[in-house]
């Protein structure tokens, strides 16, 4: 009786821990995406001010608010598409991260950096105002990086589900374990072939089969 009570208690604690871990992961996704969205929106608001050559802070205010709303939407998307029991991971063209918005933020920053470099090079060649060159180059680069970041994050990047589906497609069995030099595979589909002499002639038949457990050892 005590053994069954211990097993039951252990199962309850395991489920509780898994539930708490899942909640912590969701809160981390939500908080990270909102923060990254706010930063991205602020950068784009400042870039808009630079392109307009204006000291009016309205674009910055709008960018910050829009970034928070966009970050919240991306957070909902990340939580909804996160495979159960896994930590969120995304691999973009230039960066890896633990939420979708970090790819957009970093691509925006990279775009602003490249834009500043190009802008400064252009004004040096044309003997124009160096400050203006950096201002417009950085602003235009930030928007270009933001556009690439959206495509990178939602179309080009690989996410958890991509890695998991790729793993399942390449796996020969439902579950696979390695113990020392022994490979154990559970529930492995197979095709059984045999010669059939029951008819008037000889025929080769194929029938689907299912291996429950298979072992292979390397030497």
Q: Provide the residue range defining the domain that includes 97.
A: 2-168
What residues pair up with 185 in beta bridges, in sequence order? 176, 214
Residues 135 and 50 grouped into a single domain: yes
Least confident of 48-52, 99-103, 115-119, 202-206: 202-206
Token pair recorded at residue 187: 């529930």
- Identify whether residues 77 and 159 lie together within a single domain: yes
Clarify whether residues 152 and 185 are in a common domain: no
Lowest mean pLDDT among 6-20, 99-113, 128-142, 169-183: 6-20
Q: Are residues 49 and 87 in the same domain?
A: yes
In the chain, the percentage of residues whose pLDDT exceeds 90 is 36
Helix (H, G, I), strand (E, B) or coil at 82: coil
Question: Cα(201)–Cα(68) distance, rounded to whole angstroms?
Answer: 75
Cβ(43)–Cβ(64) below 8 Å: no
Last-in-domain residue among 153, 168, 183: 168
Is the same domain home to 9 and 22? yes
Do residues 40 and 50 touch, judged by C-beta distance below 8 A? no
Residues 207 and 104 grouped into a single domain: no
Asked if 101 and 189 sit in the same domain, the reply is: no
Q: How many domains does the chain have?
A: 2
The first and second tokens of residue 197, run together, are 């002499």
Are 105 and 199 contained in the same domain? no
Lowest mean pLDDT among 70-84, 113-127, 138-152, 196-210: 196-210
Q: What does the DSSP 8-state code read for residue 83?
A: P
First-residue to last-residue Cα distance in the chain:
45
Please provide the DSSP assignment of 84-151 as one string. TT----EE-SS-EESSHHHHHHHHHHHHHHHHHHHHHHHHHHHT--HHHHHHHHHHHHHHHHHHHHHH
Do 140 and 196 reside in the same domain of the chain? no
Tell whether 46 and 16 lie within a shared domain: yes
Instruction: Encode pLDDT of 28-37 as tens digits.
Output: 888 899 999 9
Shared domain for 182 and 117, answered yes or no, is no
Residues 11, 97: one domain? yes
Q: What is the mean pLDDT of the chain?
A: 76
Domain C-terminal end among 168, 186, 203: 168
């Amino acid at each position: 009786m005590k053994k069954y009570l211990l097993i039951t208690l252990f199962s309850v604690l395991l489920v509780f821990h898994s539930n708490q871990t899942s909640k912590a992961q969701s809160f981390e996704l939500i908080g990270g995406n909102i923060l990254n969205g706010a930063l991205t929106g602020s950068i784009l608001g400042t870039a808009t001010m630079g392109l307009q050559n204006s000291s009016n802070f309205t674009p910055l205010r709008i960018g910050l608010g829009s970034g928070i709303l966009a970050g919240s939407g991306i957070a909902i998307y990340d939580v909804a598409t996160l495979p159960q029991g896994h930590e969120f991971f995304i691999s973009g063209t230039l960066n890896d991260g633990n939420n979708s918005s970090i790819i957009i933020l970093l691509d925006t920053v990279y775009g602003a950096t490249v834009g500043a470099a190009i802008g400064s090079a252009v004004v040096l060649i044309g003997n124009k105002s160096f400050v203006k060159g950096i201002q417009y180059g950085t602003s235009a680069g930030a928007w270009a990086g933001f556009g690439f970041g959206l495509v990178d994050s939602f179309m080009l990047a690989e996410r958890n589900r991509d890695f998991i589906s790729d793993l399942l497609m390449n796996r020969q069995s439902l579950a696979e374990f390695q113990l020392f030099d022994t490979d154990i595979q559970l529930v492995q589909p197979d095709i059984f072939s045999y010669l059939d002499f029951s008819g008037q002639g000889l025929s080769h038949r194929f029938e689907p089969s299912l291996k429950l457990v298979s072992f292979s050892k390397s030497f």
